[in-house]
Amino acid sequence: MRSAPLGEECWQAAIAQLTVRETSFFRHRDWLRALRDRVLLPAMREKARLDNGSIAVWSAGCASGEEAYTLAILIGDLAESLPVPGGWRFDFFGSDICAAAVAQARAARYREWSLREMPPEVRRRHLVPDADGRSWELRGPVRDRVAFVRHNLVDIDAGTWPAAPGQFDLVVCRNVLMYLHLRARTRVATGLAAAVAPGGWLVTSPAEATPALFPALARHSFDALLAFQAPTGPDRAGQRYRQHGAPTDISDDPGTPRGAAAIPLVAALAAKRVQTAAPPVDALLEAASDRELAGDHCTAVELLRQALSAQPEAPEVHFRLGSLLHRLGRGAQARRHDRLALLGLTELRDDCLLRAGLEVPVGRLRLALQQRLARALSDG
Ligand SMILES: C[S@@+](CC[C@H](N)C(=O)[O-])C[C@H]1O[C@@H](n2cnc3c(N)ncnc32)[C@H](O)[C@@H]1O
């Protein structure tokens, strides 16, 4: 599906009519069990062994969010049994082309039909029935951990691709590729593969798990699951992308020349990085991170303030300073920077990447800020 010169409202009305958004929590439980036991558990054990408690997951084509929340539940449960120093940091992200689906995912309110495969004990832990008794709302940390953005996977060359190369430990794109035209499917598959971290995983539905779509990744068969793993070691995602380029060895796709889709994505992301993090702010942010890691919070605050003198409206810097001040218990100052960060994001598209320690999409930063301010409000 491609963006057309329609008004956004017409375009979204068409998308809402044309897309198949069937999904549910814990969809295909055998498949999920294999994903948990054969992919997630070993990967998280390895992270725990290396004291690396950060895990990033992208549910691409997440419909109304059930898949992304299911992954957050599974991974949260595994994390509880695998302690790491400093605790786990979760970076869960869902995207879909359909604005109505994304709005529903953010609202996290579901009917019985969406919950039909969810174990009752999991339902009791994470969902609260609404007063009308007809729907359930997801509450608590799982909901807070997942951010959603509207994004068309086919817009790979438009500079709005939400993932940096090698950003995700797990990319799940299930029952989405099958709806795309072959040429679009090939290009999207290349972008998804590039978003996987070295040693990380990409999974589709079994029907979509064609090795020719992901030539840079190794295919493994685990019970009900076919999974693709990115090479580890020096083959960094950007290099992998350039070396392998767009897969063209699918006989009825004469379109994309080898590598043609690859370079613009990497270039677009690199260009965005330059735009949003020009020195000296870039250098000041890095120095602030170093001081923060070293436990020298006063200097970190000072460096972030200097960065704001150079770029007074930089939302990513306000966000960083707000985060640090929250941790230091300086709530009023922190909230001020949160509000300035939100203000600075107003004109930016949800899928722009900003450097805030990690590269994060604007939509995710906006949601995190809104949630943080709402929490501060409810805590009084
Ligand atoms: C059948 S649902 C799959 C939901 C979920 N992944 C699962 O398997 O339960 C397919 C989803 O893909 C989304 N989709 C279709 N084309 C897309 C595109 N070009 N970019 C992003 N999402 C797309 C649809 O809006 C729909 O929500």
The residue to mutate among 11, 19, 154, having the most atoms of ligand 1 within 8 angstroms of its beta carbon, is: 19
pTM for this one? 0.67
pLDDT digits over 239-254, tens only?
Answer: 544 443 333 222 223 2
pLDDT at 289: 85
- Which part of the chain has CATH 1.25.40.10? 277-378
Question: At residue 235, does pLDDT exceed 50?
Answer: no
Is the CB of residue 114 below 6 angstroms from any atom belonging to ligand 1?
no
Distance CA 17, CA 150 (A): 16
What distances in angstroms separate CA 211 from CA 20, 179, 222, one per listed residue? 25, 18, 15
Compute, in angstroms, the gap from residue 175 CA to the centroid of ligand 1: 7
One CATH from 3.30.360.10, 3.30.540.10, 3.40.50.150, 3.40.50.2300 for 8-239: 3.40.50.150
pLDDT digits over 40-82, tens only?
Answer: 999 999 999 998 898 999 999 999 999 999 999 999 999 999 9
Is the CB of residue 179 below 6 angstroms from any atom belonging to ligand 1?
yes
The class level of CATH for 277-378 reads: mainly alpha
Distance CA 228, CA 210 (A): 10
Taking the CA of residue 15 as reference, the ligand 1 atom at the shortest distance is: 25
- Average pLDDT along the chain: 81
Compute, in angstroms, the gap from residue 69 CA to the centroid of ligand 1: 15
Taking the CA of residue 23 as reference, the ligand 1 atom at the shortest distance is: 9
Is the CB of residue 104 below 6 angstroms from any atom belonging to ligand 1?
no
% of the chain surpassing 70 pLDDT: 82
Confidence of residue 355 (pLDDT cuts 50, 70, 90): low
Is the CB of residue 153 below 6 angstroms from any atom belonging to ligand 1?
yes
Going through the chain in order, the beta strands assigned E by DSSP cover 54-60, 89-96, 109-111, 127-129, 135-138, 146-150, 168-172, 196-203, 218-222, 225-229, 353-356, 358-361
Is the CB of residue 323 below 6 angstroms from any atom belonging to ligand 1?
no
Question: At residue 272, does pLDDT exceed 50?
Answer: no
- Which part of the chain has CATH 3.40.50.150? 8-239
